[in-house]
Amino acid sequence: MSKWPKIFTGFVVAFGLLGLSQAASASSYTVKSGRTYNSRIVRSKGWRLWNQPYTKQAKALGKTGKLSGQLVQVDRVAKQGNDTYFQISRRGHNYGWLNAQGLKTTSRYVLPYTYTSQLYPLYAPNACEAASMKMALSVKGIATKTSLKTIITKMPKAKTPSKGFVGNPYTESRPGETRTIYPKPLTAYTKTYDAQAKNITGASKQQLITEIKRGNAVIFSGAWRMQGFRPYHVLALVGYQHGQFLVADPYMKKSWPNKTYWTKSSNFMKVYQSRHSRAITVR
C-alpha cells in the first residue's frame, strides 16, 4: 500500500472507517495468536467491528464507539496480502475483528484494572495477596463480582508459605512476623480463576515490561509505596511507560490519595529483587 498514490491510499483508509471492502476473497486469511503482540490504542469511534476478518460474508458487530482512545489487547491476527485484521478484547470482552489501520501503537500502557483495597470496606490488613490477585484478574474481566472475602476464604492455608497462606489475614502482624503465601501455591490458586496464570518468579525488568505491554497484570512482592525499608508486601503491577512502572497498592485507606502511582523502574527493580523477584502474571 505504501507504493500507491497518496490519494488512493486515503481512499482506502476512508473506506476502512466506513467498514467497506478491503478484502478480495473469502477464505484465504492466515490466522494466528496475537498474544505476543503489544496492546494498541483504538484510533477513533468510526471503525467497524466484524465477526470475522473482513470478507463479503462478514457481519458487522457495530463500531468502535466508546473504545476510541482505549487500550485493547490483541487476541488473534489475520493476514491476507496487504490486509491485516486484529481480534481485540478489553477486560476480557471480545469485541470482534478490526482492520489494523484502526489501531495505533503507544508508549504508555495503563491496563484496565479495578482497584481493590484490603483495608476497606473489608478490613483485612494481611490480605495483600488476595487484593492484588483480585486487581490483576480484573484486567481480564475475571472475578469482578467475586468479593475479596470470598477470595480470601478460598485461598489455600498452610503452616508454611510455600504451601499456602500462613496466619490470620484479618489482624495486624506482630513485630517481625510475615504472613504471606509464596508464588507456587498462589499461582495454583489463581489458576482456578484464570487457567493462563503463570508463575514468573525471577522475571527480569524486560520480562515484566513485556507482560504489561501484552495486557497482562502482574502480582509481585515488594513493599508499601515501594519503599525498600518497609515490611514485605504484595502489590499489583498494572502499567508501564518509559522508565516507570505503575503500581496499584492494596494497603490504602479510603481517604488516602494516590492508591495507584508511578515509580521509577530502577527503584521498582531494587525493591522487587530484594523480595526475591517473586511474581505471577495473569494472562
Q: Are β-strands 108-110 and 217-223 bridged in parallel, bridged antiparallel, or unpaired?
A: unpaired
CB 11 within 8 A of CB 22: no
Give the count of beta carbons closer than 10 Å to the beta carbon of residue 234.
28
Map out the domains of the chain with their CATH numbers.
Answer: 6-106 (2.30.30.170), 128-282 (3.90.70.10)
pLDDT of residue 9: 40
How does 129-155 read in b/e, with b if 16+ C-beta sit within 10 Å?
bbbbbbbbbbbbebbeeeebeebbeeb
Q: Closest Cα partner for 136 from 204, 75, 211, 84? A: 211
CB 64 within 8 A of CB 81: no
CB 92 within 8 A of CB 141: yes
Nine-digit cell at 263? 515509580
How does 186-204 read in b/e, with b if 16+ C-beta sit within 10 Å?
bbebbeebbeebbbbbebe
pLDDT of residue 218: 98
pTM: 0.89
Q: Closest Cα partner for 71 from 85, 88, 86? A: 88
pLDDT of residue 176: 78
What's the first-to-final CA gap in the chain, in angstroms? Answer: 34
Task: Report mean pLDDT in 10-residue bins for the chain, 283 residues.
Answer: 38 40 60 97 98 96 98 98 96 98 98 98 98 98 98 97 97 88 98 98 98 98 96 97 98 97 98 98 97
